[in-house]
């Protein structure tokens, strides 16, 4: 059973989405898990999500409904995080497990994590949740359903017991961070290697299930990529090489998708996967134009990126509207509309990527006249993108058209002008 507490008015009421669309995403989260299904849904209007969320009458109504149903074995309250006293009260009244978005997303992450790094990040993401539960445990919580004061957890916890548990949690967090730091160092070596080879990088970001992996597969023709139509299909950063029309080799970085109403502590655990976006030459924001809630999804992604990226990078971010084959022309969004499935707009996207990369990396088009028989040409092939090579009119030289970084151009002039002077 999914219950969506919809705020009726006030600053907490979402403006760019609807309760129905929020409930639809909650259903998609549940359906992401194997063997989980939605038996029923309910939008419950509330004043706010603080306190006990529901009024006494609303809670009694929900309790009567749930206790009368034999096909419901758990309840998903579609809020970011429930407090321990809220969980204890609801589970006590309904006699079944109660989930929030945090715990449900953790279930999804655990189900589909494959690499050691992803599993470590998920374990680390649990730490704030566990620590929060320990901090919230205290005696004397007031139950507005019964009007009585009782222990949140039967019998309560002694202070020394909680202290021991907190020490264990702190030690586990220390070990997890240590192991992730080792992986981070390995990632840094690979990253420095890419920088040393001067490969331009494009970080592909977007809301979960917006079509990032499908787009990367279309750009790279990588048959090993298997896009899936579910939330959080990508939990690991993967890097894929493509060749643009100007023969420039580019690395596309697939990242973990964003989602709304998730505590920052959960995404913080995956901060290492977003570091590639921080240092990428170009950010490619993929928006699912066919999704009915695409406006709110876009706002969510931009809000998260604005906290991570400098203003200059945000201004130069390349935005594309994906899955345009699933909507009519009248429904299309202004901007670059593409379909990785039909190929619509893909040539325009590649040209836009070329322009964005050459602009952000300081690469320029340069034509060199180099002598035949020298090692100039092999140097250019190693350190620049050679577009064409033609014979010079004098018969003793080549005209080589390239795309070259300003640093490589400086090295070329320094290296070969020296040789010219010596000769």
CATH of the domain at 378: 3.30.70
Burial class (CB in 10 A: 0-12, 13-18, 19+), 412: buried
* Shared domain check, 373 and 338: no
Same domain, 405 and 376: yes
Average pLDDT over residues 193-222: 83
Closest CA to 340 of 199, 206, 201: 206
Dist CA 325 CA 348 (whole Å)? 16
d(CA 29, CA 104): 8
Q: How far apart are CA 305 and CA 278, in angstroms?
A: 9
Does one domain contain both 295 and 327? yes
Same domain for 405 and 316? no
pLDDT of residue 415: 85
> Is residue 143 within 8 Å of residue 151, measured between CB atoms?
no
What is the pLDDT at residue 198?
66
- Asked if 210 and 355 sit in the same domain, the reply is yes
Q: Provide the residue range defining the domain that includes 77.
A: 2-111
Q: Mark whether 139 and 243 lie in a shared domain.
A: no
Tens of pLDDT, residue by residue over 343-373, are: 999 999 998 998 888 888 877 888 998 888 8
CATH of the domain at 306: 3.40.50.300
pLDDT at residue number 191: 63
pLDDT in tens, 316-343: 789 999 999 998 887 888 889 999 999 9
Above 90 in pLDDT, residue 201? Answer: no
Closest CA relative to residue 69, chosen from 95, 35, 91: 95
Which pLDDT belongs to residue 143? Answer: 46
CA distance 323 to 339: 5
- Of 77, 111, 145, the residue that ends a domain is 111
Examine the domain organization and report whether 143 and 95 are in the same domain.
Answer: no
Q: Are residues 204 and 351 in the same domain?
A: yes
* Residue after which a domain boundary falls, among 91, 111, 131: 111
Burial code of 60-88, b = ≥16 C-beta within 10 A, e = fewer? Answer: eebbeebeeeeebebbbbbbebbbbbbbb
CATH of the domain at 102: 3.40.50.11060
Tell whether the model's pLDDT for residue 227 goes beyond 90: no
Last residue of a domain, one of 111, 129, 163: 111
Digit-coded pLDDT (tens) for 235-254 = 667 788 888 877 778 889 88
**14 is written with which tokens?**
């979402």
- Residue 219 in 3-state DSSP? helix
Helix, strand or coil, per DSSP, at residue 349: helix
**How far apart, in Å, are the Cα atoms of 88 and each of 97, 139, 381, 400, 414?**
10, 13, 66, 72, 71
Tokens of 250: 């580019």
Structure tokens at 353: 């990527």
By CB atoms closer than 10 A (0-12, 13-18, 19+), residue 347 is exposed
Give the tens place of pLDDT for each residue, 294-317. Answer: 999 999 888 888 887 888 888 778
Report the domain count for the chain. 4
Residue 109: HSE in the Cβ half-sphere, 13 Å Cα cutoff = 26
Q: Is the same domain home to 221 and 351?
A: yes
pLDDT tier for residue 149 given thresholds of 50, 70 and 90: very low
Closest of 177, 139, 145 to residue 61, by C-alpha: 145
Lowest-pLDDT choice from 2-6, 19-23, 131-135: 131-135
- Tell me, yes or no, whether 315 and 236 share the same domain: yes
Q: How confident is the model at residue 4, as a pLDDT?
A: 95
- Domain match, 183 and 74 both: no
What pLDDT digit, counting tens, does each position of 388-402 carry? 888 887 778 889 988
The whole-number pLDDT of residue 150 equals 42
What is the rounded average pLDDT of the residues 226-238?
Answer: 70
**In a shared domain, residues 178 and 95:** no
Nearest CA to 277 out of 314, 324, 245, 249 is that of: 314
């Amino acid at each position: 059973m999914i219950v969506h507490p919809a705020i009726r008015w006030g600053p907490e009421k979402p403006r760019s989405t609807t309760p129905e669309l929020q409930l639809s995403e909650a259903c998609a989260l549940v359906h992401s898990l194997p063997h989980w299904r939605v038996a029923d849904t309910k939008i419950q209007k509330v004043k706010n999500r603080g306190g006990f969320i529901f009024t006494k009458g609303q809670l009694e109504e929900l309790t009567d409904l749930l206790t009368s149903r034999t096909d419901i074995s758990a309840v998903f309250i579609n809020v970011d995080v429930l407090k321990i006293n809220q969980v204890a009260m609801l589970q006590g009244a309904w006699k079944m497990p109660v989930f929030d978005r945090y715990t449900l997303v953790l279930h999804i992450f655990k189900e589909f994590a494959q690499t050691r790094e992803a599993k470590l990040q998920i374990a680390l993401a649990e730490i704030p949740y566990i620590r929060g539960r320990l901090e919230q445990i205290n005696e004397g919580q007031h139950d507005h359903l019964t009007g009585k004061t009782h222990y949140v957890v039967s019998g309560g916890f002694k202070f020394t017991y909680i202290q021991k548990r907190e020490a264990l949690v702190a030690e586990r967090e220390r070990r997890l961070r240590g192991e992730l730091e080792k992986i981070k160092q390995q990632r840094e070596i690979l990253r420095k290697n890419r920088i040393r080879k001067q490969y331009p990088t494009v970080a592909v970001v977007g809301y979960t299930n917006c079509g990032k992996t499908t787009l990367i597969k279309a750009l790279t023709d990588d048959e090993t990529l298997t896009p899936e139509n579910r939330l959080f299909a990508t939990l690991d950063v993967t890097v894929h090489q493509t060749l643009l029309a100007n023969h420039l080799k580019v690395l596309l970085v697939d990242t973990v998708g964003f989602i709304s109403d998730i505590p920052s502590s959960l995404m913080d655990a995956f901060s290492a996967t977003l570091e590639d976006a921080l240092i990428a030459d170009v950010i490619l924001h993929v928006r699912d134009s066919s999704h009915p809630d695409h406006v709110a999804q876009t706002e969510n992604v931009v809000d998260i990126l604005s906290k991570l990226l400098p203003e200059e990078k945000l201004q130069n971010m390349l935005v594309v509207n994906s899955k345009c084959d699933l909507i009519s022309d009248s429904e299309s969004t202004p901007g670059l509309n593409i379909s990785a499935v039909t190929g619509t707009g893909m040539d325009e996207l590649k040209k836009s990527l070329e322009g964005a990369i050459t602009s952000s990396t300081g690469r320029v088009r340069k034509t060199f006249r180099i002598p035949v028989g020298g090692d100039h040409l092999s140097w250019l092939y190693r350190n620049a993108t050679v577009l064409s090579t033609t014979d010079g009119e004098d018969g003793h030289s080549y005209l080589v058209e390239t795309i070259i970084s300003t640093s490589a151009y400086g090295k070329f002039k320094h290296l070969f002008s020296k040789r010219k002077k010596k000769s």
